[in-house]
Structure 1
Amino acid sequence: MSFHIQRLDTFGGHRDSVFTLISSAQPDHFFSAGADGQVADWDMARPDLGSLVAQIPASVYALARDPGSGLLWVGQNYEGLQFIDPEARTVAGSLKLTTTAIFDIQLYRQTAFVALADGVVVVLDVPTRAVRKYVKASDKSARCVAINPVEREVAVGYSDHRIRLFDMNTLELKQTLEGATNSVFALTYSPDFRHMLAGGRDAHLRSWDVEANYRPDADIVAHMYTINHMAYSPDGQWLATVSMDKTVKIWDADSLRLRKVVDRARYGGHSTSVNKVLWLSNTQFATASDDRTVAVWAIDGF
Structure 2
Amino acid sequence: MITHLHTLSGHQNPIYALANSNQKDTFFSAGNDKGVVEWSLNTMSFVKVILPVQSSVYALHTYQDLLFVAQRSGLILVFDLLEQKVIATLSHHQKGVFDVKTIAHKNEIISTGEDGTVAVWSLKDFTLLYNFPVLQNTVRTIALSNDAKEVALGCKDGIIRIYNSDDYTLIKELEGHKFAVTALQYAPNGTYLISGSRDAQLKIWSLPDYTLSNSVPAHMFSVYSIVFHPTLPYFATCSQDKSIKLWDSETFKLYKILSLEKNTPGHFHSINKMIWSTDGKYLISTGDDRQVMIWEFTL
**Which band: TM-score by shorter chain?**
over 0.9
Q: Could you say which residue in structure 2 is the equivalent of 1:255? A: 251
The one of 6, 19, 28 equivalent to 2:25 is: 28
C-alpha separation between the residues in 2 aligned to 1:166 and 1:287? 30
- What is the number of residues matched between the two proteins? 295
Task: Give the SS at the match of 2:44.
Answer: strand
Task: Give the SS at the match of 1:46.
Answer: coil
Q: Could you say which residue in structure 1 is the equivalent of 2:190? A: 193
Q: Could you say which residue in structure 2 is the equivalent of 1:62? A: 59
Of stretches 7-16 and 241-250 in structure 1, the one that deviates more from structure 2 is: 7-16
C-alpha separation between the residues in 2 aligned to 1:160 and 1:168? 22
Cα displacement string for residues 244-295 of structure 1 (whole angstroms, at most 9, x for unaligned residues): 0000000001011111000124221001011111111334210011110110
Q: Could you say which residue in structure 1 is the equivalent of 2:199? A: 202
Displacement after TM superposition at 1:221 (Å): 0.7
Cα displacement string for residues 19-42 of structure 1 (whole angstroms, at most 9, x for unaligned residues): 111111111111111111321111
Q: Could you say which residue in structure 2 is the equivalent of 1:269? A: 266
Structure 2 counterpart of 1:242, one-letter code:
C
Moved over 3 A (4+): 86-89
The one of 87, 92, 95 equivalent to 1:100 is: 95
Q: Could you say which residue in structure 2 is the equivalent of 1:122? A: 119
Q: Could you say which residue in structure 1 is the equivalent of 2:69? A: 74
Q: Could you say which residue in structure 2 is the equivalent of 1:84? A: 79
Structure 2 counterpart of 1:289, one-letter code:
G
Q: Could you say which residue in structure 1 is the equivalent of 2:152? A: 155
C-alpha separation between the residues in 1 aligned to 2:211 and 2:182? 20
Structure 2 counterpart of 1:294, one-letter code:
V
Does the aligned pair in 2 maintain the 1:191–1:236 contact within 8 Å? no
C-alpha separation between the residues in 2 aligned to 1:210 and 1:37? 41
Structure 2 counterpart of 1:181, one-letter code:
K
Q: Percent of pairs identical after alignment?
A: 29
Task: Name structure 2 gaps, 5 residues minimum.
Answer: none
Root mean square deviation of aligned Cα: 1.4
Task: Give the SS at the match of 1:267.
Answer: coil
C-alpha separation between the residues in 2 aligned to 1:270 and 1:242? 10
TM-score by length of 2: 0.95
Does the aligned pair in 2 maintain the 1:190–1:236 contact within 8 Å? no
Q: Could you say which residue in structure 2 is the equivalent of 1:139? A: 136
The one of 4, 7, 16 equivalent to 1:7 is: 4
C-alpha separation between the residues in 2 aligned to 1:50 and 1:28? 11
Task: Give the SS at the match of 1:240.
Answer: strand
C-alpha separation between the residues in 1 aligned to 2:42 and 2:54? 29
The one of 284, 291, 294 equivalent to 1:293 is: 291
C-alpha separation between the residues in 2 aligned to 1:80 and 1:8? 35
TM-score by length of 1: 0.94
Task: Name structure 1 gaps, 5 residues minimum.
Answer: none
C-alpha separation between the residues in 2 aligned to 1:292 and 1:86? 24
Displacement after TM superposition at 1:47 (Å): 2.5
Does the aligned pair in 1 maintain the 2:38–2:46 contact within 8 Å? no
The answer to whether structure 1 residue 226 and structure 2 residue 222 are counterparts is yes
